[in-house]
A and B are shown apart, each in its own frame.
Chain A
Amino acid sequence: MGPAGDDAADAELNIIPYLDIIMNLVIFLIFSFEVVLENTQIDVPAPAYSAVGGGGEQSNSLSVFVHSSGYDIVPVVTGVDGLSGKETIPLKNGQYDTAELTKALERLDTQFNFGPDMLITADPKIAYKTIVETMDAARNDTKGKELFPLVALSEAVQGG
């Protein structure tokens, strides 16, 4: 091989333009990555209207009513006449007291073993984010253990 062939063998690939492109791409992707929000979902079972209130075969069930003034928790327990009535958790500093709701639900579940289902009912004007906050508060107990992962939504109207 002549001198020209030796030159060709010695020539190295110029990777500087490649590095420039990669660098720009990486910077672009890093900045785009910042604004991507992870979407998740909450499964909502179809509401079982017969679960709350009278009629038919009844099992233990728990309902949370969301009002503009706070939460009402209404447990229904088979064989316990009237139970202890509803438990009210008022607003705290104008906010729904989700921490207190979690504690109350945990206490009731320990006492009566309601299982994984719960029902939420709300006043017509209650915002969707309040419903999701309530579902979050019911999902896990104070220790992070699963409490009520299946929360159904109900349209029943609660008086008072």
Chain B
Amino acid sequence: MSDVAATSETLPVLDNPFKGMKRKRKRKTLAKGEAEPQGLNLTAMMDMMTILLVFLIQSFAIEPSSLPPDLKPPTSTSAATLRPSITITVSQTEIFVDGNSVAKVADVTLGKDRLIQQLVEPLDAIKRKGDVLKSKMGRTDDESAILLVAHEDTPYEMLMAVLYTAGAQGFNKYRLQVIKKESPK
């Protein structure tokens, strides 16, 4: 016990060698009149949070799809950006034109003329309205595009009947809406 005490007395250097320096610096700071830092500095965290928030709001600004619940479009590797068009939606049970229900899928019968009669009138009305607008605005382009949003199990004959009916009403460009899938590397 006495040996230990003697050792600590003989080796005072083992105490914190920077202790004196720290105290000196503190005294210097206080002498300059600067306040001693207190609490956590939240500025950096707030910066980060704000950047994250702006990024997420920007990403969220993509128009959320308003697809019917019984509609799942197929996935595709196509990377073409979705452009606004007249939308024909074919779900498992119903057909919509620009969000308005026009027919039940079960009621659609494809005759020899291959037209879907329930689609003819709404498409014709949209086409006429578009033509009037174009002439008023002095546009001469013939961009009359149809965006087809169909369920992945829709039979081919139904797809073709929709496109054929749209074509018969003067729509000459077709686009298929799909969900983006990563292409295999």
Contact = CB atoms under 8 A, between A and B. Distances in A.
Contacts of A91: none
Contacts of A41: 78, 80-83, 147, 175-178
Contacts of A126: 155-156
Given A30-B56, A36-B64, A128-B152, A42 B78 contact: yes
Interface in B138-185: 147, 150-157, 159-160, 163-164, 167, 172-180, 183
A135 B175 CA distance: 13
Contacts of B172: 46
Given A33-B56, A41-B82, A22 B50 contact: yes
A140 B185 CA distance: 12
A33 B60 contact: yes
B176 A44 contact: yes
Given A41-B175, A126-B156, A153-B163, A36 B78 contact: no
B96 to A, nearest CB: 16
A135 B52 CA distance: 38
Interface residues on B, range: 35 or more
Interface stretch (B7-15, B23-31, B69-77, B98-106): B69-77
Contacts of B45: 19
A124 B82 contact: no
Interface string B75-92: 111111111000000000
A8 B78 CA distance: 61
State the main secondary structure of chain A at its contact with B. mixed
Contact of B154 (A44, A127, A153): A127
Question: Which of A42, A66, A139 is most buried by chain B, counting CB atoms within 10 A of its CB?
Answer: A42
Interface of A: 15, 18-19, 22-23, 25-26, 29-30, 32-33, 36-46, 66, 122-129, 131-133, 135-136, 139-140, 144, 153, 155
Interface of B: 42, 45-46, 49-50, 52-53, 56-57, 59-60, 62, 64-65, 73-83, 114, 147, 150-157, 159-160, 163-164, 167, 172-180, 183
25 contacts: A15-B42, A32-B60, A33-B56, A33-B59, A36-B64, A40-B80, A40-B81, A40-B82, A41-B178, A42-B176, A45-B174, A66-B156, A124-B156, A126-B156, A128-B74, A128-B150, A128-B154, A129-B74, A131-B156, A132-B76, A132-B176, A135-B78, A136-B77, A155-B114, A155-B160
